[in-house]
Amino acid sequence: MENGIIFVGKKPPMAYVLAVLTYLNSGNDSVVIKARGVTISTAVDVSQIVTRRFSKDIKVSKVEIGTEELEDKEHKKRNVSFISIEMHK
Amino acid sequence: MENGIIFVGKKPPMAYVLAVLTYLNSGNDSVVIKARGVTISTAVDVSQIVTRRFSKDIKVSKVEIGTEELEDKEHKKRNVSFISIEMHK
């Protein structure tokens, strides 16, 4: 985690749900969940599990989508879609 | 397609890119791309391919995420995340 951003990868959604809840219960009012490529759907799941199952006080405040340029191991550039979901209580 | 909504499923992204471009070139100013579960990331890809590779005049105007209740074949209800991406020219 850097600067209130939780990067969603290939762990089960609950791992990120826990990270969100822990961060928001440690004196922080907002957090951003970010994911690239196929993990984008996991990020949406995480936001829904947090707001619907765990806390009615936490809301999604902003959703952004876009493209990032990544460099692979052979220094080739490729474009990857991302989502960033801002949540706050 | 119903009422200007394109449902993104398991076809390659280009199939939906073409559907978006065709719809917006047939006298319509806006279209909504919608996807559930693991196809959510494909929907984001589709929006990015349309806006970045095909037309600088088409923009993403709204992104919504949420949960829908679906009934499976045995009439059991389960929750599925969705994304809906509104695009207009």
Interface predicted TM-score (ipTM): 0.90
Tell me the pTM. Answer: 0.92
Q: Which is it for strands A30-36 and A5-7: parallel, antiparallel or unpaired?
A: parallel
Count the alpha carbons within 13 Å of A87 in the hemisphere toward its beta carbon: 31
Name the amino acid, one letter, at A44: V
Tell me the mean pLDDT in the region B42-60: 94
For residue A76, give the CATH number of its domain: 3.30.110.20
Predicted local distance difference test score (pLDDT) of residue B2:
63
What whole-number percentage of chain A has pLDDT above 70? 98
Domain span at B47? 5-88
CB contact under 8 A, B63 and A67: no
Question: Residues of B at the A interface (Cβ-Cβ below 8 Å)?
Answer: 37-41, 44-45, 47-48, 52, 60, 63-67, 79, 81-83, 85
Give me the number of domains chain A comprises: 1
Per-residue pLDDT tens over the stretch A41-71: 999 999 999 999 988 899 999 999 999 998 8
Size of interface A-B (CB pairs under 8 A): 50
Q: Which of A38, A45, A65 sits opposite B85 (nearest CB)?
A: A65
Per-residue pLDDT tens over the stretch B2-23: 679 999 999 999 999 999 999 9
Per-residue pLDDT tens over the stretch A20-31: 999 999 999 999
Closest B-chain CA to A66: B48
Spatial CB neighbours of A65, under 8 Å, sequence gap ≥ 6? A81, A82, A83, A84, B44, B47, B48, B60, B63, B85
Question: Residues of A at the B interface (Cβ-Cβ below 8 Å)?
Answer: 37-41, 44-45, 47-48, 52, 60, 63-67, 79, 81-83, 85
How far is B63 from A74, CA to CA, in rounded Å? 34
Predicted local distance difference test score (pLDDT) of residue B1:
61
CB contact under 8 A, B67 and A81: no
Smallest CA–CA distance, residue A38 to chain B, in Å, is: 6
